[in-house]
Amino acid sequence: MTKQLFAPTRTAALERLQSFVPKAGAYASKRNYDISGHPHVSVLSPYIRHRVLTEVEVLQAVLGRYAPSTVEKYVQEVFWRTYWKGWLEMRPSVWSDYKQAVHSSWNDVQTQSGMRSEWEAACKGETGIDCFDHWAKELVQTGYLHNHARMWFASIWIFTLRLPWALGADFFLRHLLDGDPASNTLSWRWVGGLHTKGKTYLARPDNIAKYTEGRFRPTGLATHAEPLTGMPNPERSPLPEAGELITGARTGLLITEDDTSIGWIVDQVTPVATACLNASAHRSPLHVAPSVHSFTQDLISDGAARYSERIGTQAGFIDAEQLAQWANEQGLDQVVTSYVPVGPARDALKPAQRALSDKGITLTQLRRPYDTAAWPHATHGFFRFKDKIPSLLGRIRGVRLADSQT
């Protein structure tokens, strides 16, 4: 049974942001502690993931209270998310290779009996490694894990239990309410040594004991983390062009899980009809937790409800295969949506985009200025990207909230 840590509304997200802001000054010194209730981190990721809150909004909130140097660490963590998004956007084959790896590892699990029981024990939290078992259960029950717990968990999965990394990433994606194709896939690759050549993350008992304040001190963990082989980083491809609105076109709006705050779109165009797409079931070929599906669904509905007077006739939720037919029935020339980044929603939309185009209807994906400014800098490692943070912050300082967020 999932314990509801995250109410699926913007109101709840704003309340959480407001309660975190006064604590942001202490984030740098305490953020690594994985303590019950997670008092030292913002616990905002399920909202940021679906853009109930945008990065700009969160950054402006902490920088409105503290000097940049005081909240530098927090700001950097938010930019880690941005970096991963941009990095994957320019290397989309990493996502398709990951999906392929899930399929082939899943085949192995089904055909190799020992492996099946080990995978099941890991997902059920029955490995006998107390901290790992605790985090497996916490993830399934709450849909959230602290960042340090995610790192330890992934490391133990890969180097101690020796299970395929892609199935670990898949387990996270099926249960995390913030499950994100970029942050999740790339963090798992990073732990396993696939992202930064030769660099892995080894979970150490002393580190776990220190940062769980003695709750756990596991024994029997791997003492060496040999980088995984295969799947080297591909060449970077150019960032896809963002769409441009066709003015005067009869326009429908599509709301997806990647951006549930549609104010910035309806400020630019008045849709005659709106449809919602929840592609969370596509996060995995296995069963995605019902809590993930319903959380995503509710956030999209909340986004639509906030603008109900400005979004025309509402079709409710449709499957991607129904999009072209819906658009045709509405007599649309254009379906506008917030840019859909690499991931399940884009996968679901690919055939739909072809079907739309066959009917002469354009799918226009508008990209937020923040993404357009930041993503191209994800060329190499995070440390090079980090150098761009001051200039990116300079750009968002003058951005009006009404344009950028809700």
Ligand X SMILES: Cc1cc2nc3c(=O)[nH]c(=O)nc-3n(C[C@H](O)[C@H](O)[C@H](O)COP(=O)(O)OP(=O)(O)OC[C@H]3O[C@@H](n4cnc5c(N)ncnc54)[C@H](O)[C@@H]3O)c2cc1C
Stretch of 1-9, 143-151, 228-236, 325-333 contacting ligand X, by CB under 6 A? 143-151
The tokens describing 141, both together, are: 């029950």
What are the Cα distances from residue 22, in Å, to 19, 75, 223, 368, 402?
A: 7, 14, 39, 28, 23
Stretch of 8-16, 38-46, 318-326, 367-375 contacting ligand X, by CB under 6 A? 38-46
Answer for which of 43, 101, 136, 255 binds ligand X (CB under 6 A) is 43
Least separation in angstroms between CB 335 and ligand X? 27
Largest CA distance in the chain: 66
Stretch of 135-143, 178-186, 258-266, 293-301 contacting ligand X, by CB under 6 A? 178-186
Least separation in angstroms between CB 115 and ligand X? 21
Nearer to ligand X (CB atom), residue 169 or residue 349: 169
The tokens describing 390, both together, are: 């001051």
Nearer to ligand X (CB atom), residue 16 or residue 352: 16
State the binding string over 147-166 for ligand X (x if CB under 6 A, else -).
x--xx--x------------
Which of positions 267-286 make contact with ligand X (CB under 6 A)?
none
Answer for which of 17, 21, 41, 254 binds ligand X (CB under 6 A) is 41
Nearer to ligand X (CB atom), residue 149 or residue 336: 149
Size of the site for ligand X (CB under 6 A): 28
Least separation in angstroms between CB 334 and ligand X? 31
The tokens describing 198, both together, are: 């030769």
Distance separating alpha carbons of residues 306 and 315, to the nearest angstrom:
16
Whether 55 and 78 have beta carbons less than 8 Å apart is answered as yes
Q: Of 169, 352, 340, 143, nearest to 257 (Cα)?
A: 340
CA count, 13 A, side-chain hemisphere, 189? 22
Distance separating alpha carbons of residues 297 and 319, to the nearest angstrom:
12
Answer for which of 89, 133, 170, 178 binds ligand X (CB under 6 A) is 178
Stretch of 142-150, 227-235, 324-332, 371-379 contacting ligand X, by CB under 6 A? 142-150
Which of positions 66-95 make contact with ligand X (CB under 6 A)?
77-78, 80-81, 84
Least separation in angstroms between CB 140 and ligand X? 15
Cβ neighbours around 194 below 10 Å, total = 22
Nearer to ligand X (CB atom), residue 147 or residue 233: 147
Question: DSSP class of residue 283?
Answer: G
3-state class (DSSP) for residue 188:
helix
Stretch of 11-19, 63-71, 173-181, 373-381 contacting ligand X, by CB under 6 A? 173-181
Stretch of 8-16, 41-49, 349-357, 395-403 contacting ligand X, by CB under 6 A? 41-49
Distance separating alpha carbons of residues 226 and 139, to the nearest angstrom:
26
**What residues does 276 pair with on adjacent strands?**
255, 317
**Opening angle at CA 223, ends 217 and 226, nearest 5:** 135
The tokens describing 98, both together, are: 């990951």
Q: Does 45 help bind ligand X (rule: CB under 6 A)?
A: yes
Nearer to ligand X (CB atom), residue 363 or residue 389: 389
DSSP 84-110: HHHHHHT-THHHHHHHHHHHHHHHHHH
Where does this chain bind ligand X (CB under 6 A)? Answer: 31, 41-45, 48-49, 77-78, 80-81, 84, 146-147, 150-151, 154, 172, 176, 178-180, 183-184, 187-188, 191
